[in-house]
């Protein structure tokens, strides 16, 4: 185990990297479709990288050399419009993969990926994965199924956060989504501590309005806020506010 500079990331910092022999990738069914020899090659050419919260994993349009799987932590996909405003498109958690489209299309990433928490990533070598896709139909089908799942997840998110609904309803749906996707602590706190600015970006509003709505929800007993962290102790009460 050594500290090295990891050149795939634009930020110039030292991060923790080690070879991995225990890769677990939920979206690719834990790589079970690979032969023992192929799996050994994937593990030999892969690495585990620790990235602090707020680190850019890759930028929009960047050519990717790796397929990234979240071992621990969470990331967001986002794009920047012509006015420089960020639009968050998706949140990703443990076991989810980043870079699938770029791997298949051979084009630059369609989004930027940024860590929302301190995050550990599996970094799978692009060439090794591409070779397995070429020779192993089961592995190829697993990746295609993961991409279909992405489409379904994105569609469900669009429905939940649809612009045809009011901001209030969409914020409630977002809080429920975060609780279901990332879980809650024993005291009801959301495991994913999302900035008010990020919530506003997802819902297309201002952080001030998000703060105002959260205050309203708190007054109605649907949630509480402990040192800035949202506590969902009464999920059913929250749902009645939709």
Per-residue pLDDT reduced to its tens digit, 174-217: 999 899 889 999 999 999 988 999 999 888 899 999 999 999 99
Q: What percent of the chain has pLDDT over 90?
A: 36
In this structure, what is the dihedral angle of CA atoms 162, 75, 44, 125, given to the nearest 10 degrees? 60
Q: What is the CA radius of gyration of the chain?
A: 19
Q: Is the pLDDT of residue 133 over 80?
A: no
Q: What is the pLDDT of residue 143?
A: 74
Q: Report domain extents, the chain.
A: 2-160, 167-239
Across the chain, mean pLDDT equals 81
Q: Is the pLDDT of residue 30 over 60?
A: no
CATH node for 167-239 = 1.10.10.10
3-state secondary structure of 138: helix
Q: What is the pLDDT of residue 232?
A: 93
Contacts 24+ apart (CB under 8 A), 59-65: 59/10, 59/109, 59/112, 60/108, 60/109, 60/110, 60/111, 60/112, 61/108, 61/109, 62/108, 62/109, 63/102, 63/108, 63/109, 64/99, 64/102, 64/103, 64/108, 64/109, 64/126, 65/8, 65/125, 65/126
Architecture category of domain 2-160 in CATH: Sandwich (2.60)
Q: What is the pLDDT of residue 65?
A: 87
């Amino acid at each position: 185990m050594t500290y090295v500079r990891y050149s795939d990331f634009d930020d110039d910092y030292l991060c923790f990297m080690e070879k991995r022999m225990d890769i677990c990738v939920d979206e690719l069914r834990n790589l079970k479709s690979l032969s023992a020899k192929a799996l050994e090659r994937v593990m030999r050419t892969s690495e585990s990288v620790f990235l602090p919260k707020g680190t850019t994993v890759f930028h929009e349009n960047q050519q990717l050399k790796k397929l990234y799987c979240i071992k621990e932590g969470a990331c967001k996909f986002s794009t920047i419009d012509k006015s420089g405003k960020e639009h968050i498109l998706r949140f990703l958690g443990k076991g989810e993969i980043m870079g699938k489209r770029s791997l298949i299309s051979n084009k630059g990433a369609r989004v930027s990926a940024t860590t929302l928490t301190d995050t550990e990533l599996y970094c799978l070598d692009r060439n090794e994965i591409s070779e397995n896709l070429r020779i192993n139909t089961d592995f190829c089908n697993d990746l295609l199924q993961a991409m279909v799942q992405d489409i379904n997840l994105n569609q469900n998110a669009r429905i939940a956060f649809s612009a045809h609904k009011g901001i209030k309803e969409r914020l409630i749906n977002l809080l429920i989504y975060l609780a279901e996707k990332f879980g809650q602590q024993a005291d009801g706190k959301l495991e994913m501590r999302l900035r008010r600015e990020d919530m506003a970006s997802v819902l297309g509003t201002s952080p001030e309005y998000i703060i105002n709505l959260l205050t309203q929800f708190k007054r109605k007993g649907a949630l509480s806020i402990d040192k800035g962290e949202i506590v969902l102790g009464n999920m059913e009460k929250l749902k009645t506010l939709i």
